[in-house]
């Protein structure tokens, strides 16, 4: 059983993780302390690993002979389907941690649902990603509390990150026909059903961190249909330059 | 060279000599990375599963498995990767846990039940693999490889790694 929604759906899942993984990898050698440098790059490795599996599956389902590398390195920004939140520049440590927390809380809920996907290959990837996402969530949630409940400086930076990122959270839960079709045939999950448990979990941590969530209603979106911020093109230029300059190179 | 088809046990015994590239005291069989071995008239199929999605050692493990079997004249060998069921540290054998500890890596406790993530969970203390003290603290849930966490022993003042439960 196949549906035209399948490949776009898998690209969304894979691209979220590939782009966020790349943003995290930019911390390599720049972490505030050694343990965090290692932690952030470990999380990057998990996300890029998950992305490789998801994009490989997307390529197989597409049936045009594209593998995970072709999809990662030879698509332009307009063909990427990640949510806008993950492509924003890495910012300071507070921004990176708050984003990781917001995304990991989402990813845990998403993967919990997807491990029961009727598409067996997706279910297997999700069961694995779920275990990894739990580690990411615990790590980032503890840091959100540490920063929010820390010094005036760390609190202000964490609050600024929450204020800046909040308008990108709506897109994670906005369902369109691709999501609804995938949910209807039991292969995917309708993201709008994840919003409530996500808000409960995020709200609890934000409260303990002494932070506040903005009340504005306006939410940015566009990433799921290829309308991205200016930042993604710059990021991809760096990520893709070697593969595009030396196609097929091996090392 | 023509030889009789090897048995499943014979192959598992050979694979028990293939060590994890990052932790060379335990084998890919003991770690639960090898999930299945099939022998048919057409050759041998070894099914493996990664510990973590992004584990960079998987390609090397595949190559090591193929060359170990080739050394015993076993060919052709097909290596398949499976993701389901997801690998868990609960598959690590008792023997391997002792070897890890002797090597200076604290073995994992039971894998977490799959409930909602507890954000306030207190970490039970871990026995230092060097001096056996319980006066230890976790420094980071992420270590030198995807599968390890960093700990510190307050008794012998020695940092050590834990194979983290997954």
Residue A250 inside a domain? The answer is: no
Question: Cβ contact (<8 Å) for B53 and A125?
Answer: yes
Integer Cα distance of A199 and A20 in angstroms: 21
> Over chain B, what is the mean pLDDT?
90
Confidence of residue B118 (pLDDT cuts 50, 70, 90): low
Q: Kindly report the average pLDDT of chain A as a whole number.
A: 96
- Which residues, at least 6 apart from B150, have a Cβ–Cβ distance to it below 8 Å? A35, A38, B138, B139, B140, B142, B143, B144, B159, B161, B162
pLDDT digits 0-9 by tens, A32-84: 999 999 999 999 999 999 999 999 999 999 999 999 999 999 999 999 999 99
Please determine, for residue B159, whether its predicted confidence score (pLDDT) is greater than 70: yes
Q: Contacts of residue A201 in chain B, CB cutoff 8 Å?
A: 116
Residues B101 and A138: their CA atoms lie apart, in Å, by 26
pLDDT of res. B113 = 65
CATH at A230: 1.20.1260.10
- Look at residue A251 and tell me if it is in a domain: no
When scoring A117, A131, A200, A204 by the number of chain B Cβ atoms within 10 A, the one with the most, hence best to mutate, is: A131
pLDDT tens per residue, range A203-249: 999 999 999 999 877 999 999 999 999 999 999 999 999 999 998 88
DSSP strand pairing (B105-106 vs B34-40): unpaired
Q: Is residue A116 part of a domain?
A: yes
Distance (Å) of CA A116 to CA A113, A232, B54: 6, 32, 22
Q: Are A45 and B51 in contact (CB under 8 A)?
A: no
Residue of A63, A56, A20 lying closest to A41 (CA atoms): A20
Residue A97 in any domain: the answer is yes
Residue-wise pLDDT for B81-107, tens only, equals 998 888 999 999 999 999 999 999 999
CA distance A97 to A91: 10
Query: How many domains does one find in chain A?
Result: 1
List the single range of A142-156, A191-205, A227-241, B138-152 with lowest mean pLDDT. B138-152
CA–CA separation, A181 and A179 (whole Å): 6
User: Is B143 in contact with A38 (Cβ distance < 8 A)?
Assistant: yes
Give the ipTM of the model, two decimals please: 0.86
**What residues contact B94, with CB distance under 8 A and at least 6 apart?**
none
- Structural domain harbouring A220: 6-245
Strand-by-strand arrangement of the B136-140 sheet: B105-106, B158-163, B148-153, B136-140
Which among A135, A118, A131, A21 is positioned nearest to B50, based on CA atoms?
A131
Q: How far apart are CA A223 and CA B111, in angstroms?
A: 36
Q: Is residue A1 part of a domain?
A: no
**A158: in domain:** yes
User: Would you say residue B1 has pLDDT above 60?
Assistant: no
The count of other CB atoms within 10 Å of the CB of residue A57 is 22
Which chain B residues have a beta carbon less than 8 Å from that of A121?
83
The answer to whether position A194 is within a domain reads yes
Distance CA A107, CA A111 (A): 6
């Amino acid at each position: 059983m196949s549906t035209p929604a399948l490949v776009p759906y898998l690209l969304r899942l894979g691209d979220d993780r590939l782009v966020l993984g790349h943003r995290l990898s930019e911390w390599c050698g720049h972490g505030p302390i050694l343990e965090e440098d290692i932690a952030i790059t470990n999380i990057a490795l998990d996300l890029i690993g998950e992305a490789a599996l998801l994009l490989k599956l997307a390529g197989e389902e597409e049936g045009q002979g594209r593998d995970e590398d072709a999809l990662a390195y030879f698509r332009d920004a307009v063909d990427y389907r990640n949510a806008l939140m993950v492509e924003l520049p890495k910012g300071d440590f507070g921004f990176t941690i708050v984003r990781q927390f917001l995304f990991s809380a989402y990813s845990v809920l998403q993967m919990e649902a997807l491990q029961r996907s009727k598409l067996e290959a997706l279910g297997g990837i999700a069961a694995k990603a779920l275990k990894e996402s739990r580690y990411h969530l615990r790590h980032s949630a503890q840091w959100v509390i540490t920063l929010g409940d820390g010094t005036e400086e760390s609190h202000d930076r964490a609050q600024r990150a929450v204020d800046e990122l909040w308008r990108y959270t709506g897109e994670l839960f906005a369902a369109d026909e691709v999501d609804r079709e995938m949910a209807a045939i039991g292969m995917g999950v309708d993201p709008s059903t994840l919003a409530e448990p996500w808000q409960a979990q995020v709200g609890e941590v934000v409260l303990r961190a002494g932070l506040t969530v903005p009340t504005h209603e306006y939410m940015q979106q566009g990433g799921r249909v290829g309308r991205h911020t200016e930042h993604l093109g710059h990021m991809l230029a760096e990520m893709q330059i070697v593969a595009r300059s030396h196609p097929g190179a091996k090392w | 060279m023509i030889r009789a088809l090897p048995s499943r046990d014979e192959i598992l015994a050979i694979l028990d000599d293939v060590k994890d590239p990052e932790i060379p005291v335990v084998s890919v069989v003991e770690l639960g990375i090898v999930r299945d071995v099939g022998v048919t008239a057409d050759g041998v199929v070894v099914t493996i599963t990664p510990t973590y999605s992004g584990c960079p050692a998987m390609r090397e493990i595949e190559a090591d498995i193929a060359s170990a079997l080739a050394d015993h004249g076993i060919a052709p060998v097909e290596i398949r990767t499976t993701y389901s069921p997801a690998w868990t540290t609960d598959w690590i054998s008792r023997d391997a846990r002792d070897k890890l500890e002797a090597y200076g890596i604290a073995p994992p406790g039971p894998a977490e039940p799959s409930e909602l993530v507890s954000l306030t969970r207190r970490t039970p203390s871990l026995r230092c693999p060097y001096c056996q003290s319980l006066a230890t603290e976790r420094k980071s849930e992420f270590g030198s490889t995807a599968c390890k966490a960093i700990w510190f022993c307050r008794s012998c003042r020695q940092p050590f790694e834990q194979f983290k439960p997954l």
